[in-house]
Amino acid sequence: MKVTPAVNTFVGRPVERVEDLRYLRGKGQYLDDLQKEGQWCGAVLRSSVAHGRLVNIDTKAALDIPGVHAVITAADLPSVIPTIPFRRPNPTIAPYAQPVIAVDKVRYVGEPIAFVLADSAEIAEDALQFISVEIDTLDPIVDWRASENGATLLFDSTQTNIASVFEARSGDAAEAFRAAPYVRRERFSVQRHTAMPMETRGLLAEWDEATSHLTVWGAAKLPFFNRRAMAGMMGLQETAVDYLELDVGGGFGARGEFYPEDFLVAFSAKHFKRPVKWVEDRREHFLAIAHAREMEAELEIACDLDGSILGMRGTINVDIGAYVRPNGMTPVRNVTQFIAGPYRIANLAFDGRALVSNKTPAGTYRGPGRFEGCFFCERMIDLAAKDLNLDGVDMRRRNLLTQADMPYALATVSPNDGFAETACDSGDYRTTFDQCLNEFGWQEKSPLNGQCIDGLYHGIAIGNFIEGGAAGPRESAKIELERDGSVSVYVGSSGVGQGVETIMSQIAADALEISLDRIRLFHGSTSNLKEGFGSYGSRGTVMGGSAVLVAAKEFLAAFQDAAAERLRVPSDQVTVEGGVARTRDGRSVPLIEIAALELISREATYHGSKQTYTFGAAAVHVSVDPKTGRVNILDYVTVDDVGRVINPLTLHGQVVGAAVQGFGGVFSEHLQYDSSGQLLVGSLADYMIPISTDYPHIRAISLEQYPSPNNPLGAKGAGEGGIIPVGGVVVNAIASALRSFGVEPRSLPLTPPHIWQLIQETKS
């Protein structure tokens, strides 16, 4: 097929998001906007005990309340209670799967015990207090050390609370450490926190008895996986279930996974043949959505005296909560494999251990494992540079990967947990590092390091990161011609607030050589395509966009054939340009004329198993008040190379938004538990997320100097990179500011009281 060069240039342009107009007009449709005739509303009774044996559940008083129709407990479900499937099955973690409702034991505060169905959400919630639950309490496990001890086991069928161990290896770390002239050991930790999307989770399910078909609204991130999981758990054919996306108020990795409520809502709808709706309140959100980040690492670094890093090794202990979530191993695996980040370190040996505890189960949150690993690595490099009396900037540049190293194989992980071996794909990592230094004004600001000005101590720091993306193995797209000559594009990528409607429309408009206003974009829902994979792991644009290119090629070939038939010439004598097919003798037929005769539809799949790696650097200037411990971000600059920029506006929003979430994780967000396993936060009054005015001095620059060779777009995942370096650079800047006090922070969050306490400890 011959297609002339594209006449459009939508890719790369700062096109304003097409989604935003309906949002700003209040015309978005979210799950809670959806109502079905005759629907019942659900409310979840959750365990108030962290660890205990379920003795008795009495629901009679709740059932006597007018408007209450049913109360579902484990006794009302099949004799074998379903457990939530894993995204990547692994026999080791099988015993730690979560049942859809508590059976015999409760293992965390917030675990579902019963599901009330009533005429309204208010009645259902009121009924919860009338359910009597008797629990024999057991000793709770509230930290990884107690979990490792094994004196109390969360699962009677196991002999350990260590659900899995990942081993990452490269080179010969033992030999590197034996020969190294300099070695340092340190311990670092990151606190438990989680995503806080504006919209909490919610689902509405409806069973059609006539067609034996289940429809679930409220899908996000993984509609196709969740459909497959739901069908298997309910004994249905996969085609008998549809997950439909609505507008979504943010995802960030935590929303859209399969949770117990998914099954309870759908089971109730099918069992009672009524539409059933459940919407999580914010208090539930703290208890029920996947937590993240809680890790402690004991690491060693080995260096030559010139700052060349010879090796790193260590153990990272990850508190994953009471059960293994469907993707609960991803953060553990990521921190184990990616802790060395963008640095050329030939000898690596890391063990990542997943330990269960009596806390809410943990999963992914933007940059899972990479945010933590970058903090550990960048902190260790700064400490080593100080010991060796080296400039941290020079030490980093010496060890950064270059284009000559590409492709650069990352450490091999076992078990591989369904992931193939991977390698950094393209780029000279010094380019973003040097540009970041220049944009930040490093030379001009360096004299401020450690200086006290008007009672505030100033510090600067810079660090580097990589962001993996384009998780395979494939993605699908479909392009259909409509009667009015417009084109409908369906993609398997999900919309979780990242602007997928705009980005995919830009890609499709360029590929089809038609104007943007002729594209209608549909995403995520399982009714659109035979197969899809969704949006996670910075894959949406790369995999979904590449699928659009494949589908566009097949669509244009079909248009060429249809035009050739209409013009009565062989197909190879027709060229396609700008939505018009032309013969060599000048005759032509536009796409809209073909639409009147034939509705072309082509569905295609893009296959890709090689990941992409965005790389970048971030620098920060802070001031610290030693009297209060308060930190001000005076300047923050991040520079990344994303291979190819599809839309500078949406990309900029992704990077800046991610950085702000990173600041929240560094300074304030903390899901604290007491010794009995009770979560000590329950509202946004005591879980402090950043607000829009907190961090006004963020500058983000995105480059496209090194396209990825691993996909036809040349693009790389870019939704998570903005958060990854924040912890490492901010903590190093605070240490630089407080170097006269000898303060060396090793744990997050760095709240004002924490920093103040560190200063006081150096005085004693």
C-alpha dihedral (50, 200, 216, 487), degrees to nearest 10 = -150
Q: What is the pLDDT of residue 419?
A: 66
- Evaluate whether 584 touches 573 at the Cβ level (below 8 Å): yes
Average pLDDT over residues 646-659: 96
The DSSP symbol for 410 reads P
Backbone angles phi, psi at 464, to 5 degrees: -125, 160
Q: What is the pLDDT of residue 418?
A: 64
| Core vs surface per residue 86-117: b (16+ CB within 10 A) or e | bbbeeeebebbbbbbbbbebbbbbbbbbbbbb
Residues 130 and 218 in one domain: yes
State the amino acid at position 172 in one-letter form.
Answer: D
| Core vs surface per residue 400-413: b (16+ CB within 10 A) or e | bbeeeebebebbeb
- Evaluate whether 473 touches 224 at the Cβ level (below 8 Å): no
Closest by Cα among 417, 423, 269, 205 to 332? 417
Strands 68-72 and 40-46: unpaired
* Banded model confidence at residue 420, pLDDT cuts 50, 70, 90: low
Angle between helices 500-512 and 545-567 (to 10 degrees): 40
Backbone angles phi, psi at 347, to 5 degrees: -120, 110
Q: Give 192-210 pLDDT, tens digit per residue.
A: 999 999 999 999 999 999 9
The DSSP symbol for 543 reads I
The DSSP symbol for 396 reads H
Residues 88 and 233 in one domain: yes
* Banded model confidence at residue 5, pLDDT cuts 50, 70, 90: very low
Average pLDDT over residues 173-192: 98
Domains of the chain: total = 4
3-state SS track over 351-378 = EEEEEECCCCCECCCCCCCHHHHHHHHH
* Banded model confidence at residue 692, pLDDT cuts 50, 70, 90: confident
Average pLDDT over residues 468-474: 91
Residues 213 and 122 in one domain: yes
Strands 580-583 and 588-590: antiparallel
Sign of CA dihedral 490, 202, 271, 208: negative
E-strand spans in 252-359?
276-279, 295-303, 309-321, 347-356
- Evaluate whether 203 touches 262 at the Cβ level (below 8 Å): yes
- Calculate what percentage of the chain has a pLDDT beyond 70: 98
Residues 159 and 215 in one domain: no
**The pTM is what?**
0.96
- Evaluate whether 356 touches 156 at the Cβ level (below 8 Å): no
Question: Is 90 exceeded by the pLDDT of residue 3?
Answer: no
Sign of CA dihedral 586, 590, 593, 598: positive
For the chain, the 3-state helix, strand and coil shares in percent, each to the nearest 5, are: 30, 30, 40
Question: Is 70 exceeded by the pLDDT of residue 759?
Answer: yes
Range of weakest confidence among 283-287, 415-419, 471-475, 599-603: 415-419
Closest by Cα among 194, 130, 575 to 365? 194
Average pLDDT over residues 116-137: 98
* Banded model confidence at residue 571, pLDDT cuts 50, 70, 90: very high
* Banded model confidence at residue 184, pLDDT cuts 50, 70, 90: very high
Closest by Cα among 336, 410, 341, 415 to 369? 336
Residue 712 CA, distance from chain mean position: 24
- Evaluate whether 471 touches 739 at the Cβ level (below 8 Å): no
Residue 28, in any domain of the structure: no
Q: What is the largest CA-CA distance in the chain?
A: 92
Average pLDDT over residues 553-576: 95
Residue 377, in any domain of the structure: no
Residue 393, in any domain of the structure: no
Element (H, E) at 621: strand 612-625
CATH assignment of the domain containing 557: 3.30.365.10
* Banded model confidence at residue 90, pLDDT cuts 50, 70, 90: confident
End-to-end CA distance of the chain: 78
Backbone angles phi, psi at 198, to 5 degrees: -60, -40
Residues 518 and 561 in one domain: yes
Residue 158, in any domain of the structure: yes
Sign of CA dihedral 588, 593, 599, 601: positive
Task: Mark which of 607, 640, 673 sits at the end of a domain.
Answer: 607
Residues 179 and 314 in one domain: yes
Region label for 641, one of left (φ > 0), alpha (ψ between -120 and 50) or beta (otherwise) = beta
Task: Mark which of 556, 584, 607 sits at the end of a domain.
Answer: 607
Q: What is the pLDDT of residue 421?
A: 85
Residues 463 and 566 in one domain: no
Task: Mark which of 607, 641, 673 sits at the end of a domain.
Answer: 607
Question: Is 60 exceeded by the pLDDT of residue 4?
Answer: no
Tell me if residue 161 falls in helix, strand or coil. Answer: coil
Instruction: Please identify which residue in the block is written with the tokens 């010094």.
Output: 430
Residue 573 CB: number of other CB atoms within 10 A?
A: 14
* Banded model confidence at residue 1, pLDDT cuts 50, 70, 90: very low
Sign of CA dihedral 715, 719, 724, 730: positive
Residues 461 and 440 in one domain: yes
Instruction: Please identify which residue in the block is written with the tokens 């630089």.
Output: 736
Q: What is the pLDDT of residue 472?
A: 84
Residue 395 CB: number of other CB atoms within 10 A?
A: 21
Q: Give 151-172 pLDDT, tens digit per residue.
A: 999 999 999 999 999 999 999 9
Average pLDDT over residues 20-27: 92
Cα–Cα distance, 451 to 736 (Å, whole number): 9
Q: Give 93-122 pLDDT, tens digit per residue.
A: 999 999 999 999 999 999 999 999 999 999
Tell me if residue 8 falls in helix, strand or coil. Answer: coil
Residue 430, in any domain of the structure: yes
Q: What is the pLDDT of residue 2?
A: 38
Residues 438 and 305 in one domain: no
Element (H, E) at 207: strand 202-208
Cα–Cα distance, 270 to 248 (Å, whole number): 25
Domain that residue 750 falls in? 400-411+425-469+610-763
- Evaluate whether 547 touches 473 at the Cβ level (below 8 Å): no
* Banded model confidence at residue 7, pLDDT cuts 50, 70, 90: low
Instruction: Please identify which residue in the block is written with the tokens 């190294």.
Output: 180
How is residue 136 written in tokens? Answer: 């024999």
Mean pLDDT of all residues belonging to the chain: 96
Residue 379, in any domain of the structure: no
Residues 191 and 204 in one domain: no
How is residue 751 written in tokens? Answer: 């709240």
Backbone angles phi, psi at 367, to 5 degrees: 70, 40
* Banded model confidence at residue 763, pLDDT cuts 50, 70, 90: confident
Average pLDDT over residues 328-348: 97
Average pLDDT over residues 324-350: 97
Cα–Cα distance, 72 to 105 (Å, whole number): 17
Residues 513 and 535 in one domain: yes
How is residue 341 written in tokens? Answer: 């980040």
Residue 651, in any domain of the structure: yes
Q: What is the pLDDT of residue 152?
A: 96
Cα–Cα distance, 718 to 701 (Å, whole number): 12
Residues 748 and 618 in one domain: yes
Cα–Cα distance, 345 to 348 (Å, whole number): 7
Range of weakest confidence among 94-108, 248-262, 404-418, 613-627: 404-418
Average pLDDT over residues 389-413: 97
Closest by Cα among 494, 472, 31, 30 to 221? 494
Residue 572, in any domain of the structure: yes
